[in-house]
């Protein structure tokens, strides 16, 4: 009886099948991680804009310049980030996935997801930049309100 050196065709097929299965599981997991990363990036960007708005308003209140809160309302919400998000465009709608945009006429911030399935298959995420007024009509606050 001769002894075979190396692996048989069957053993090779089993190894290829196992590696294929592991690769498929890895790709599914990688896609889930990318979706979670995009959700986190969007949530952090919006949260940082909101914090920046609060800081700008708080600074004016601390200096006794409440009348200047209207300047915060007139600015782009993106101005309150340390730096503009990747792929940001101002004055028009986002056109490519992964792009942020601010429309000053509608006062809307939008984002086109790279992975829509990360956001329940939403094709676009939108927020409106809204001034809060007191009974006399004076701007006392600003908020970023999610539209969809």
Domain that includes residue 93, residue range: 9-146
Total domains present in the chain: 1
CB 61 within 8 A of CB 71: no
The count of C-alpha atoms lying within 13 angstroms of the C-alpha of 58, restricted to the half-sphere facing its C-beta, is 7
Q: What is the mean pLDDT of residues 6-19?
A: 88
For residue 3, pLDDT beyond 80? no
Evaluate whether residue 1 is within a structural domain. Answer: no
pTM for this entry: 0.81
Evaluate whether residue 49 is within a structural domain. Answer: yes
CB 147 within 8 A of CB 108: yes
For residue 142, pLDDT beyond 80? yes
The pLDDT of residue 2: 66
Evaluate whether residue 131 is within a structural domain. Answer: yes
Evaluate whether residue 100 is within a structural domain. Answer: yes
For residue 51, pLDDT beyond 90? yes
For residue 143, pLDDT beyond 80? yes
> Residue 16: which residues within 8 A CB-CB, separation 6 or more?
none
> Rounded to whole angstroms, how far apart are CA atoms 23 and 94?
34
Evaluate whether residue 2 is within a structural domain. Answer: no
The pLDDT of residue 99: 93
Evaluate whether residue 4 is within a structural domain. Answer: no
pLDDT of 52-95, one tens digit each? 999 999 999 999 998 899 999 999 999 999 889 888 887 777 78
The pLDDT of residue 91: 76
pLDDT of 92-108, one tens digit each? 777 889 999 999 999 99
């Amino acid at each position: 009886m001769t002894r075979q050196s190396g692996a048989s065709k069957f053993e090779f097929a089993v190894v290829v099948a196992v590696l294929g299965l592991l690769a498929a599981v890895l790709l599914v997991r990688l896609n889930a991680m990318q979706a979670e990363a995009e959700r986190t990036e969007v949530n952090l960007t919006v949260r940082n804009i909101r914090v920046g708005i609060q800081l700008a308003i708080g600074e004016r209140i601390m200096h006794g310049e409440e009348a200047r809160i209207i300047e915060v309302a007139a600015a782009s919400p993106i101005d309150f980030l340390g730096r503009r998000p990747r792929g940001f465009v101002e004055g028009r709608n986002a056109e490519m996935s992964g792009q942020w945009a601010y429309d000053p006429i509608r006062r809307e911030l939008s984002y086109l997801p790279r992975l829509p399935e990360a956001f329940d298959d939403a094709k676009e995420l939108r927020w409106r930049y809204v001034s809060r007024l007191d009974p006399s009509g004076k701007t006392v606050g600003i908020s970023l309100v999610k539209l969809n």
